[in-house]
Chain A
Amino acid sequence: MTQVTRRTMLKGLAGAGAATAVSGFPFVNRLALGDQPIKLGVVVPMTGPMALEAQEMLAATQIAIDDVNAAGGVMGRKVEPVVRDSEFKPEVAKRKATELIEVEKAPFLVGAIVGFEGIAMAEVGCKNDVIVSFFGQNFLTVKGKMCKYQFGNNLSPYQTAAAAARFVDAQKMGKKWHMLANNYSWPQMFERAYSLVAKQVGAEWTGVTWAPLGTRDFLPFLPKVAAAKADVVFITTWAADQVACAKQVQEFGLARHAQVIHSITELTFAEAAGKGVYENFYSGMPWYWQLKDKFPEAKRYYDRHFALRKRAPGGYTASTYSTVRVLLDTARGEKSLETDKITRALEGRKFQYLKGPEQIRACDHVNIQDVYLCKGKSAAAMKDAWDFFDIVQAVGGDATAESCDGEGFDPKKPLSQQI
């Protein structure tokens, strides 16, 4: 029998100790990680046409993280953003999201401004059982298109359109509706919403004038819009298309014949168009900086954002704050980073940050919230560089969101129990 010497025994114990430390007893890992920050994976288009909006969203993300860290962080650990540039390309967004999960070990992913980035990130998150929460519109809320780990506090297209349509109805702007929109999937979701609400409120839906994405000259499309003789024209365009469209619709004088409603806009678009271009147009927004005069937390947020960026935050920026904050607050409350546990806790969660009360509807993860319909000001009426609109009405609640039935979900069950 081989004799085990004291030296051999000590060597063996040391080796076993080292191996245990590497593989890790749970308590050893927890202690070791106690000092390490939790990484929040952020993928936004820091380069490309949405670079400004991305920088704004990063500022909002940082402010939300600062608030969570000031409250003690998550499980006693600080949170830090790990930011990647999607370059406004879906394949890059997918690669960066994968990198954040596999290399950085980020337990949550947030980001994406437009649909193709969101789809790419969702694919990665769902495959790896990681929660993905969007900064852009929450557009995948249809059965067959989403997994249980997808969230997003921004508006859904249906919500946005339904809010604008309810606003038009409440303001008695007329019962004949038309839409001018870019021809791709996102505005097509608005068409469905508008036509459905038109039926519900007894309005006549005269259809859509479709302009290709990237249209430089909207004038050829405007006679068809005018020929519809609608009381209300909804415009569903985005970014450069919206700026060009707003300028040319103003030039065409469409607002003399009909109420013009931009389904959704962002402060940066009004800035790019210039003073007075949105005059007399109504626009939907998830948030507008005038809310700082109504909600103290919105004022605090506004001041910190302004100090960071030297400009007023836009609606998508405020939604970003809310998206990050509710995710981290939920993880803090649950004292966990476990995907399924956080998902269940987010479903049905009520919260209030920068605007009126919000709730993540359990059956489809749509964030039930107010949409702010604002009226564009003339150049002369603007008091400062961001004073493009006045809030006219907040439209919100379940009435603006499509029913879970309509999306193919069971309204009585949380989404995590359905897919």
Chain B
Amino acid sequence: MNGCILILVALGLSIVFGLMGIINFAHGVFYMLGAYAGWLTVQLTGNFWLALVTAPAAVGLLGALVERGVLKRIYGTRNANFAGVLVTYGLAIMIPDLVRMTFGRPGKPFAMPAILTGSLFQLGATEVHGYRVFILLVTAALLPLLWLLLNKSNLGLVIRAGTSDNLMVQLLGINVARTWTITYALGAALAGLAGVITAPLVAVAPEMGGLVLIECFIVTVVGGMGSFLGVVAGGLLIGETLALTGMLYDVFADVVIYLAMALVLLVRPRGLFGQEGMSEE
């Protein structure tokens, strides 16, 4: 499960960094908001499946508003990257407090749909449960779609071109501003989707985005900043490393992902699939 969640969250982080050059500290917040939006939908409608649609849509929309309302103001300014870090870090502090003030007590009960509860089959020492398979299937279905979007669509072409040479894309008359908004919203929606599908397994609380953000930074660094394949490989590597360490040598689980990151960076500073120059500066 961990690997799938990390891939979904880290993909958004990586895409935003790749195109916009923003190290988005607010990304974990979108993951948390996805869980809350899902919880709210289930409270109002009792429909988990609807929450799978409304939560990413709502979080994506919010992402677009954040990009248009806040981040837009720092583009082109001196030290824009540094300002981006400060602004998104500020959002990461402010939004959880707003959620706390709005929704009251931390921890919202969020049950998984009855159809997905229970064990499906035994795999070694582990029982494989319906909801875990569901998470796997959602991720597996989304990844090719995202790959197609980023590699075979016009939007993807602009995003990739913008990642490579933003100024040139603007000179060609392409509305890069709109692409940035869409990209940021897409990243937020992916995090929101990860949030809502994780919610039945964890505590839905305002601070739930903090740790996942750290792990996703590790995934993107290991996989290579801005690389789709890198994020998938990094997410699987970090997720499986965590899982295997938990099974085989649990006391080591605290540090293993940091060691994995250090090891990868020692051998390949740009990450497993990172482009030359990116994140090496």
Task: Identify the A interface with B (CB < 8 A).
Answer: 47-49, 51-52, 183, 209-217, 219-224, 226-227, 239-240, 243-244, 247-248, 251-253, 268-269, 271-275, 277
User: Closest approach, in angstroms, between the C-beta of B149 and any C-beta of chain A?
Assistant: 27
- Indicate whether B196 reaches chain A with its CB closer than 8 angstroms: no
B111 and A216: CB pair below 8 A? no
Residues of B within 8 A of A (CB): 1-2, 5, 97, 100, 104-112, 117, 119, 124-127, 129, 131-132, 198, 200-208, 211-212, 242-247, 250-251, 253-254
Residues of A close to B131: CB separation below 8 A: 251
**Chain B hits for A248, CB < 8 A:** 201
| Contacts A223-B126, A275-B111 known; 10 new A-B pairs at CB < 8 A | A49-B205, A52-B105, A52-B106, A210-B251, A216-B201, A220-B246, A221-B253, A223-B247, A240-B207, A268-B107
Q: How far is the CB of B147 from chain A (nearest CB, A)?
A: 25
Q: How far is the CA of A222 from the CA of B251 in the complex (A)?
A: 14
A211 in contact with B211 (CB, 8 Å) = no
Q: Given A216-B2, A244-B201, A251-B131, does the pair A209, B250 have CB atoms closer than 8 Å?
A: yes
The answer to whether B207 touches A49, judged by C-beta atoms less than 8 angstroms apart, is yes
In the complex the two chains form, is B111's CB within 8 Å of A274's CB?
A: yes
In the complex, residue of chain A having the shortest beta-carbon distance to the beta carbon of B242: A220
A52 nearest in chain B by CB position? B105
Q: List 26 A-B contacts (CB under 8 A).
A: A49-B106, A210-B250, A211-B253, A216-B2, A216-B201, A217-B2, A217-B243, A219-B243, A220-B244, A223-B124, A223-B125, A223-B247, A226-B125, A240-B203, A243-B107, A244-B201, A247-B201, A247-B202, A251-B129, A252-B129, A253-B127, A271-B105, A273-B107, A274-B109, A274-B111, A277-B109
Least CB distance from A372 to B in Å reads 22
The answer to whether A275 touches B109 (Cβ under 8 A) is: yes
Chain B residue at smallest Cβ distance from A273: B109
Closest 9 A-B residue pairs measured CB to CB?
A272-B107, A274-B109, A220-B246, A243-B203, A223-B125, A240-B203, A220-B243, A52-B105, A244-B202
A47 to B117, CA, bound (A): 35
Query: What distance in Å separates the Cβ of A350 from its nearest Cβ neighbour in chain B?
Result: 35
- The distance from the CB of A111 to the nearest CB of chain B, in whole angstroms, is 19
Residue of B111, B117, B124, B250 touching A224 (CB-CB under 8 A): B250
Write the nearest CB–CB distance from B239 to chain A, whole angstroms: 9
B106: chain A residues within 8 A (beta carbon): 49, 51-52, 272
Q: Pick the residue among A209, A253, A271 that contacts B119 (CB under 8 A).
A: A253
How many Å from the CB of B97 to the closest CB on chain A? 7
Inter-chain contacts of A227 with B (CB < 8 A): 125
